[in-house]
Amino acid sequence: MKQWLLIIGVALALLLPAAAGLAQGNPAATQIEAVPGDGVIVLGDVTFKIASDARFFARDERTAIAFSRFKEGDWVEFSVNSNGEIDEIWLSSE
């Protein structure tokens, strides 16, 4: 039972940010709610840890940028690793 609850929780954590992006018109984009620091970011009311080897990109998805360029209100797209941490995040073209 606990395993199913964990699976459902992870699935919701991955799907909620994408659902938030639907209102913007890009189903993969979600809005940054907060960047509190300490290696975390809040996307669509879900708090994610940033992986220690995470990569950050500009809108062209090729140009590397500093994490400090991301701010509250920005629309982003991202991927997560097997630990549920963001391993890549880039500014959305929205």
Task: Give the model confidence (pLDDT) of 47-92 as tens digits.
Answer: 999 999 999 999 998 999 999 999 999 999 999 999 999 999 999 9
Q: Pick the residue with more confidence: 5 or 51?
A: 51
Q: Does the structure show a pLDDT above 60 at 18?
A: no
This prediction's pTM:
0.69
String of b and e for 31-62 (b: at least 16 CB within 10 Å)? Answer: bbbebeeeeebbbbebebbbbeebebbeeeee
Query: Which residues 6+ apart lie within 8 Å of 21 measured at CB?
Result: 27, 28, 29, 30, 31, 44, 75, 92, 94
**What is the distance between the alpha carbons of residues 94 and 92, in angstroms, rounded to a whole number?**
5
pLDDT band at 24 (very low <50, low <70, confident <90, very high): very low
Q: Please, what are the domains in the chain?
A: 2-91 (2.40.50)
